[in-house]
Amino acid sequence: MIKVVDLKKNYGRFEALKSISFEVREGSVFGFIGRNGAGKTTTMNILTGLIGFDSGKIFIRGMDFKEHRQELINHIGYLPEIPAFYDYMNAYEYLDLIGNLSGYDKNKKGKRIDELLDIVKLKKNARRRIGGYSKGMKQRMGLAAAIMDRPEILFLDEPSSALDPEGRLEMLELIGGLKDERITIFLSTHILNDAERVCDTICILDEGRILLTESLSELYKKHIQLILDIEFEADPENEADSLKMLHWVKDVKIRGKRASVEVNNIDIAKKEIFKELSKSDNSIIGYQIRKMNLEDIFIGMVNKNADI
């Protein structure tokens, strides 16, 4: 559905995108993840035709994006991170305007608006001014506008970053529903739990470079490790340095007073780790064994990229 080959984008001397390449499979949810400033929004703005690029190739639906830009844009929906509205309008009025601008069939427009308001759960508030909506309601309103014309490809730029937990859950449920309708979704986010919940494929971008592009299932098969999380009474920097010297410890990451120890052999770790830590005066408050998650994989790859 989407193929990007050696895409480059510079802002003066700053290289925003450094020859990135990836493919998005039709009907999938493609998670484009990275820290703020990694180049996610630049990539999305290029793929939606909002800005140009310096070199490389983009193919959408098998067609060269530069040569068929206007035709391809008609198949694309886009929800920016902060959607803008005419706040004095209500939901019906705004979607009617979007329908008119997109040339929607007048005889089918009213039915489509009702359908969209049901999908994004705004039917009860459809006559309220959009200016009085909560952040979550505005994001859902923006999503309704983005899929008004039944796009084949939907770009979502940080759709849940400004939402509370309830609003995030609602947005993720909506994204899952759109996936069932075979819409190809390009989801840009730095919230790794969100990507883990709804995405089929994960693409990690850091400092303008692609570090990894894999299906979520293959990602877990290749990178999954066991983690021993240990909470200490004081900062465990000295303990982390000692643990890194052990042959059965692959890596140690510190977050506050917690050390996450990635191990090669959990059986040896369970027997030996407390012998090692008993040499320290730093008391252990608690610990747990868990499998590595997407956040662990992401942090590890970004840290490796920083060392290059």
Mean pLDDT computed over 184-201: 91
Yes or no: say if 109 and 99 are a contact pair by the CB < 8 Å rule. Answer: yes
pLDDT at 179 over 80: no
Report the candidate in 10, 6, 20, 161 with the shortest Cα–Cα distance to residue 79: 161
The stretch 252-277 carries a mean pLDDT of: 87
Note the pLDDT of residue 33: 93
Q: With pLDDT > 90 as the criterion, what percentage of the chain qualifies?
A: 59
To the nearest 10 degrees (0 to 180), the angle between helices 106-119 and 91-101 is 130
DSSP E strands in the chain: the ranges are: 2-11, 14-24, 29-33, 55-60, 63-64, 76-79, 153-157, 184-189, 201-206, 209-215, 226-232, 249-255, 258-263, 284-291
Q: Which residue stretches of 105-201 are H helix? A: 106-119, 135-146, 165-180, 192-198
Pairing of strands 226-232, 184-189: unpaired
3-class secondary structure, 38: coil
Is the pLDDT confidence value at 308 over 60?
no
In this prediction, residues 14-35 reach a mean pLDDT of 94
Q: What is the SS3 assignment for 74? A: coil
Number of C-beta neighbours around residue 164 at 10 A: 12
Range with the lowest mean pLDDT among 15-24, 38-47, 268-277?
268-277
Q: Work out the average pLDDT over 163-170.
A: 86
The predicted structure's pLDDT at residue 307 = 61
Query: Mean pLDDT across the stretch 153-160?
Result: 92
Q: How confident is the model over 274-279, as a mean pLDDT?
A: 86
Q: Which domains does the chain have, with CATH numbers?
A: 1-62+151-222 (3.40.50.300), 76-149 (no CATH), 225-291 (3.30.70)
Q: What is the pLDDT of residues 126-150, one digit of tens each?
A: 999 999 999 999 999 999 999 999 9
Residue 104 pLDDT grade (very low, low, confident, very high; cuts 50, 70, 90): confident
